[in-house]
Structure 1
């Protein structure tokens, strides 16, 4: 299973404050992080995969490094892929982590 190990380490740091509410699971041919059992963010190869609540999805898709998650050859609702340019800084990565947590919270 190939995924960006450096990105995994960065995500673990951002998710550490959530403690035992976060679990790792191999999904989508990569690594995903679940918040209270709900998928929030993950890694597929070198891309970040993020669940985004429907009301924010279209706005996030306008960003240059963001595209619909088309893992199944069809866009998946409330999922986006973010290429490396979109999470270069820790602030950018924190933004995506927060969106993923927000999505998971909305499903609890």
Structure 2
């Protein structure tokens, strides 16, 4: 399995009641769509085997959010995807930190509707 079921469950709990929730397995990970838009996902870094979040935060606070612990540019192809971040365990292991990142993803998701 290319992602943590435990982390998927932690994220899913936080998305309850956020809108129309769809769950998809894709790109070796697990993706949550809220109201038809990619919101947050879970996968595993193939280089170091660490679980990580994939968080869609938009471009507005992107640079500021990159400074948060565990945050890195989302890069699958050698070219960063602006508005998307990878969050590594030091940035989501604590419940408050996971709340923060899922909250940021939901904030941006609401702007898309």
Same fold (TM over 0.5): yes
- For structure 2, the 5+ residue unaligned runs are 45-50
Q: Which of 95, 98, 101 matches 2:103?
A: 98
Going by fraction, where is helix more abundant, 1 or 2? Answer: 1
Count of residues paired in the alignment = 107
Moved over 2 A (4+): none
Root-mean-square deviation (Å):
1.3
| Matching residue of 1:3 | 3
**TM-score for both structures, normalised by structure 1:** 0.91
Cα deviation for residue 66 of structure 1 reads: 0.6
Tell which has more relative contact order, 1 or 2 (C-alpha 8 A, sep 6+): 1
- Contact persistence 1:53–1:102 (CA under 8 A): no
Q: Does 1:88 align with 2:93?
A: yes
Q: How does 1:1-108 map to 2 (within 5 A)?
A: 1-18=1-18, 21-45=20-44, 46-108=51-113
